[in-house]
Structure 1
Amino acid sequence: MYLLREGASADSESLRASSKWTESEVTSSDTSIKQVYLVAGPKRTPGWLADLNLLADVQAADDDDDGLETRSLGAVVFVQRSDRIVAVTFGTGYHALDPAHIERGFGLRVAANMVAARQIRGVQTRGIASNSRDQKTLLPVDGEFSELNVEVDEDWLRQLSGKSADREFASSLSGSDSLTVSLPDFSFSLIGDKVERVLEVYASKDYEKKFPFLNQVTPVDRSDPVIPSLDALAAEQLRKQDPTVAFAAPDPFEREDPDRYELTCSYDGRFAIADLDTASVFSIIKKLNKKKSPLHDVRVYALDADGNNVDRVHPLKDYVQTEVTHDGTDFLLSAGLWFAIHKDFVKQVNAQIAAIPDLTEELDLPRWKSAELKADSSDKTSEGSYNKLVASQRGYVLLDKDLVYFGPHEKLEISDLLTPDGEMLCVKAASSSATLSHLVAQAVDSSSAWGDPKYQKMLTRAWEEIEGKDAVPLDRGDVTFVLTIATSKAGALSDNLFFFTKVQIASCLKLVTRAGFKVALAKIEMDEIEVKKVARKKKSDGDETAQEDAA
């Protein structure tokens, strides 16, 4: 079952224009059955037929009109109850529904309202704070939600399945955007009454007690009619150079980190920058024709030192990190996707971050001079060069790239720098959510490995470099993990972090402090990145970059 959005119609207007359907006459006396459509897929030759023909001369029967071709069949039944329309689908009929008319999360809410608390079977989640990995988790036997180990603040719960608390409603059910219910004995002549009962369960708020996190973060489907309005608000922010906007790579780079970025403004120029500095990107957007969209008409190329792409070409929208408010709801744009954020969740996370001590003034770390760090040949990365610089200037112990090996496939960098006050600095530039995810993970993993003898051996060696051979060993209560972030954005670090990075830091705070350590933040002031205009790529056959640039 799929619930259609309010305003949708119970007819072919709610089907994909490309679908091939045949309207069937409704013979049921139930007036809530509005329309029935039979949906036929295109004829296809089975993919396995080519392999079979290697073994035999396969021929269709003489009386078989379709020959060796098959087609899929499905159906869509539109049922209207309580002023809402539900599409009940059979077979491949769900493919015919227009995604723009589907009420997202309908099945998930019904399942969350009706599933028995101790008879949950499985979930499907997608990471939104640290990665976009889909993960399906099934319990060997029915159990409680806590047994699934879902990070409720960092993962989007997409699907929930289990036994129904009301066996008359269903014996078991599974919900995501759609709802699937299992009933041992059911006559489809009663489908109208079942739909009405489903809508009653959908309207219930019981799920807020069992799954209070469910509405914290809700992805907005790309087909949602609200997307153009959200894009327009974000584009206005870019045009006005809103200081709350940030730019970050949408995903970890699979091959290598980029040497530089090049941004094209349609036919208004191509510009090179060393990093995704906010002021630099804003200065490029100013050169874009006002009739063009800064979200969709500015293209971003991540390039290696030889000018080769290290990632596919993205519209700038995929790199934008921002928050907007539309019709009283807060939305966040990250990695090209919009998310609806519950106001209470935003307040909760911001309060947790605001409570973390900020050691920026106390540490007074050297400025992150991007051009000088990039030109430094002593390390392949700006981060590595910066850590070496700080260690030599301040007398901190350099631990960057000094790994503890726990086994053939398990290693750990306990921190980047160790100070005489027992502060373990984990250092990263705020160039992407993924980069800052690694920063948070470093602190969490390091704190959890504290008791390992190999970890203690490296820590003791580092501490003795500062305090001497007779030094009193560091106790966990004396240690502060400092999440040290370089950014060119003005203002306090806690005000400049990506929202999902704040979510991760809040989670890190719980885990690390629970283990007996302290957590703090520190900002490194970063130089603005120089913008250089570069020659446009000449369009040539087979030149993907040139073709993308000219598009």
Structure 2
Amino acid sequence: MPAPSRPASLFRLDGSAAETDLLTPLSPEQISADRPVDLPGTRGRLVAGAFRTEAPQWLQHAEALGGGPLDLPSTLPFAVLLVPRPPWTYAVTWGAGHLVLNDEHVEQGFGLRFGIRRLDPFDLGLVASAALDISARATQVSIPGGGDLSAFRLEPYGDLVHRLAGSADLTDLTYGRVTGKRYRIRVGTSLWAPLAKDPEAFLADLDAVGAVVDEPDEDSALRFISQTRPMDRHHPLVPELERQLAEALGGSDALGLAWPSSAANDAENAGSFRITGLGPGGPIHVPGRLELEHLTTRLGGIPVERRLKALRAGRITTCADEAGTEPTGAPLPAARWLVFETTVEHTRYVYHQSRWYRIGETYVAQMRDQVRDLLARKHVWPEVTWKPSGQPDDEHRYCQRVAALAPGYLCLDKDFASTPLHPRFELCDLLGPGDELIHVKWLGRATAASHLYTQALVSAEALHDEPEALAQLADKVSTLDRGRVLGGAPDTVVLAAAGRAWNVDELFTLSQVALLRLDRAVRSLRATLKFADIPHTAKQRHRRGGG
């Protein structure tokens, strides 16, 4: 008996857009067929052809090393079938057909929504995700024989899943009804699954897929995947979100500073920053640490309707020296250095790494409960008040004071360690009397906590995984306090903050995501995360960074 279905890639497009706008422009020589297709009760459109490529740019290099000429021009055949099913238009693609679709009208995450409702969480083959935090790390884990969800070690909060593959229940589709079997599908923006060959059954399959995607997901073990999603740049809510962002750029508690993933290390160790192209007024030189006010002071002087354009034109460069003459990285868009949060109709929206994300309110509430419990783990701090001096080495001065006034505390701030995996890092700012690894930061803004998390994680991993790190810590301890012997790898990591208390209400959503990640990582290293509130006097506000 011939198979009733064949696998193909299925996309869902905006049904209100003109059919001519759904596909990218194609030249006549690329098209071999463009014709209407009569289906039961509707009319579709089939476009087929091929992309012809000339010799690739690397051909000359390959010929030189390979000992002779190579004939490598090629063609990429494609076919796309557009099928109106109001309020959507479905697109079935074969070959390179996905390259023909106009991405502006493709529903992002359509396939994922089907997968969340029909994939077997005990038989997944692939999970691809990215971290929604300052690291923005991307991972792809494959288990050829299939595994349950726990085998992929997804974080319960902050993992942005964008592709899945695995065994699925397809009883809604012709394939499942006829064969009674499951099928290994792939989902992301599209759904790769068997679709019926018979025209009437094919349309029934499209309608069945749409019904699955639009049904509730309360009973799915994978529903957490849909709690955090990137927004399409053409989402109807984006103009309102960007209006709120533009207003906040003049200065707002909902706005924060966050290092771009590609510049996190350079930013942490920068001697200065150079800001260019950020509206009128010329370059801005920032010695020491970059603060949010360096951006909002300039942007606040620009009319609200022009702030976003100025932000996107601005560039920030990290420099090794305080004079700003030794760049350590490429200039990055200023928009990638900011994070912004707002709530619209009980849903949280986050602007991060130049992109908008939607975070469900239930998800936020669950996360806040966990963070509140986590912050209850307190480390008692000595009565040494941090009085800001306004100097770039303010943190170092405070650590030295604690070490001088509080018995058992040793200052290791700016005393760098080096290992094969971590060429230059701080083991801690202070070592406590019980060998606690203490990381100290003035949290002028909630987002500053993310940098503290990074420092703590690098140290904990190095001390757990690299004998050189533990040996260097022991040597530093015995040098600072003769006769004191480090009692093995420290099992307590303390985050000590001044400027604001450790309070869930004062942490950005992304900072909460990162904190839960850190706690899970520290526990996997057989250590405990604790928190300390440093007594302090408020900083005096003053304008920093010249124009």
The aligned residue for residue 296 of structure 1 is 312
Q: Distance in 1 between matches of 2:539 and 2:26?
A: 52
- Residue 203 of structure 2, aligned match among 189, 192, 196: 192
Q: Distance in 1 between matches of 2:503 and 2:516?
A: 14
The aligned residue for residue 451 of structure 2 is 435
- Residue 4 of structure 1, aligned match among 12, 18, 21: 12
- Residue 148 of structure 1, aligned match among 152, 158, 181: 152
- Give the deviation of 1:428 after TM superposition: 4.1
Secondary structure of the residue aligned to 1:258 is: coil
Deviations 1:35-64 (A, max 9, x none): 2223543552355754459855778xxxxx
Residue pair 1:108, 1:176 contacting (<8 A) in 2 also: yes
Are 2:113 and 1:109 equivalent residues in the alignment? yes
Q: Distance in 2 between matches of 1:434 and 1:19?
A: 49
Q: Distance in 1 between matches of 2:242 and 2:38?
A: 45
Deviations 1:98-151 (A, max 9, x none): 222111111112122222232211111112225222221111311111111122
From the superposition, tell whether residues 482 and 138 of structure 1 become closer, same or farther in structure 2 (CA, over 3 Å). same
| Identical residues among aligned pairs (%) | 19
Q: Equivalent residues in 2 for 1:317-328 (5 A)?
A: 317-328=335-346
Letter in 2 for 1:270: P
Q: Equivalent residues in 2 for 1:67-86 (5 A)?
A: 69-81=73-85, 83-86=87-90
The aligned residue for residue 16 of structure 1 is 24
Are 2:232 and 1:217 equivalent residues in the alignment? no
Q: Distance in 1 between matches of 2:356 and 2:435?
A: 40
Are 2:422 and 1:418 equivalent residues in the alignment? no
Deviations 1:144-199 (A, max 9, x none): 1111112231321111101223373462101011111147x855774322212211
The aligned residue for residue 162 of structure 2 is 158
Q: Distance in 1 between matches of 2:70 and 2:430?
A: 70
Residue pair 2:117, 2:220 contacting (<8 A) in 1 also: no
Residue pair 1:130, 1:433 contacting (<8 A) in 2 also: no
Deviations 1:410-439 (A, max 9, x none): 899664323347754222455767623413
Residue pair 2:230, 2:356 contacting (<8 A) in 1 also: yes
Residue pair 1:427, 1:439 contacting (<8 A) in 2 also: no
Q: Distance in 2 between matches of 1:532 and 1:475?
A: 41
From the superposition, tell whether residues 58 and 520 of structure 1 become closer, same or farther in structure 2 (CA, over 3 Å). closer
Letter in 2 for 1:263: I
Residue pair 2:52, 2:73 contacting (<8 A) in 1 also: no
Q: Equivalent residues in 2 for 1:133-282 (5 A)?
A: 133-166=137-170, 168-169=175-176, 171-182=183-194, 186=197, 190-206=201-217, 208-239=219-250, 241-253=251-263, 257-264=269-276, 265-274=278-287, 275-282=289-296
Letter in 1 for 2:149: F
Q: Distance in 2 between matches of 1:320 and 1:207?
A: 34
Aligned residue pair count:
509
- Give the deviation of 1:332 after TM superposition: 0.6
The aligned residue for residue 522 of structure 1 is 533
Are 2:367 and 1:345 equivalent residues in the alignment? no
Q: Distance in 1 between matches of 2:297 and 2:57?
A: 52
- Residue 325 of structure 2, aligned match among 291, 304, 307: 307
- Residue 128 of structure 1, aligned match among 112, 129, 132: 132
Residue pair 1:162, 1:174 contacting (<8 A) in 2 also: yes
Larger CA deviation: 433-442 vs 357-366: 357-366
Residue pair 2:453, 2:514 contacting (<8 A) in 1 also: yes
Are 2:404 and 1:392 equivalent residues in the alignment? yes
- Residue 497 of structure 1, aligned match among 507, 523, 530: 507
- Give the deviation of 1:327 after TM superposition: 4.9
From the superposition, tell whether residues 315 and 252 of structure 1 become closer, same or farther in structure 2 (CA, over 3 Å). closer
Question: TM-score under structure 1 normalisation?
Answer: 0.77
Deviations 1:470-506 (A, max 9, x none): 99x7999xx753212455xx67654443422211223
From the superposition, tell whether residues 135 and 511 of structure 1 become closer, same or farther in structure 2 (CA, over 3 Å). closer
Residue pair 2:426, 2:459 contacting (<8 A) in 1 also: no
Letter in 2 for 1:371: Q
Secondary structure of the residue aligned to 1:137 is: strand
Q: Distance in 2 between matches of 1:58 and 1:323?
A: 54
The aligned residue for residue 64 of structure 1 is none
From the superposition, tell whether residues 125 and 320 of structure 1 become closer, same or farther in structure 2 (CA, over 3 Å). same
Q: Distance in 2 between matches of 1:98 and 1:117?
A: 32
Letter in 2 for 1:174: R
Q: Distance in 2 between matches of 1:271 and 1:419?
A: 39
Residue pair 2:15, 2:86 contacting (<8 A) in 1 also: no
The aligned residue for residue 548 of structure 1 is none
Residue pair 1:260, 1:273 contacting (<8 A) in 2 also: yes
From the superposition, tell whether residues 416 and 83 of structure 1 become closer, same or farther in structure 2 (CA, over 3 Å). same
Gaps of 5+ in 1: 60-67, 374-381, 535-551
The aligned residue for residue 5 of structure 2 is none
Gaps of 5+ in 2: 1-8, 177-181
Deviations 1:82-109 (A, max 9, x none): 6432111122221121222111111112
